[in-house]
Structure 1
Amino acid sequence: MKIDGYHHIGVWVKDAQKSLDFYTTGLGGKVTFSFPMAENGKLIYLVDLGNNAVVEIIPRGNGEEEVNAHFAHIALRTDDTRAAYDLAIKAGAASSTAPQDVLLGTMAVTNAFVLGPDHEVIEFFQVN
């Protein structure tokens, strides 16, 4: 098992289209993938800014408070989500979501979430 850098950084946004325009038209990024949120069907976008700098644009859900954007989580790319999750738990992380096989649109992944020492959300992300 190895951690191989960031896969993406997720950002909660209050205006998905405005953020999408900023990261694509404004900064020259390319949408590499999109998929609907399970809870409300709003689209989540992965925008590649180049050199493995990927931003995940996550719109606020229905009825959620509209606040300024902030980081939702840091996703670390790995070749073995289950081993990375186990290692993090042994190192003192708290489990948020155990490893699971998920289909995000057409992208099959294995992911898991833990809370770091200061309750930062860390996702282990393995593209299958």
Structure 2
Amino acid sequence: MKMEGFAHVGLYVNDIQKSLAFYTEKLGFQLIWESVNQCEAGEVLVKFVKSGNSVIELVQFPFAIDRKDGWFDHIAMNVENIDEVMGILKEKGIEFEEGSYTHAPQTFQGGSKWVMFRGPDQEHIELNEKL
């Protein structure tokens, strides 16, 4: 058996258009696939967005979701220059969590920097630069 990493991360959202705009316009993801699936309660809207080799599946149900599965703490995205990316995202209205900017020379060979912010449905997102 050969595992090659994640195919995608599924993210349930309340407003798929708002989430799509956030990930494409603010974070630079590209819409790569969209579909409408039917269930008894109506339409399930699905949009896949991609940045580099990272794919997020945005899913909006026609009803409120009662989460029983485990929760991921955050989605981490690789960046080459965290300070530059932060500046660009701040110009787009992204607010970073106070005190979350971390420089950890002991994490990974050569160290790492990271900072956290929130998406439209309060999903936790991390920018991560390996040094």
Of structures 1 and 2, the one scoring higher in RCO (CA 8 A, sep 6+) is 1
What interval of TM-score do these two structures reach, taking the shorter chain for normalisation?
A: 0.3 to 0.5
TM-score, scaled to structure 1: 0.46
TM-score, scaled to structure 2: 0.45
Bigger-Rg structure (1/2)? 2
More strand by share: 1
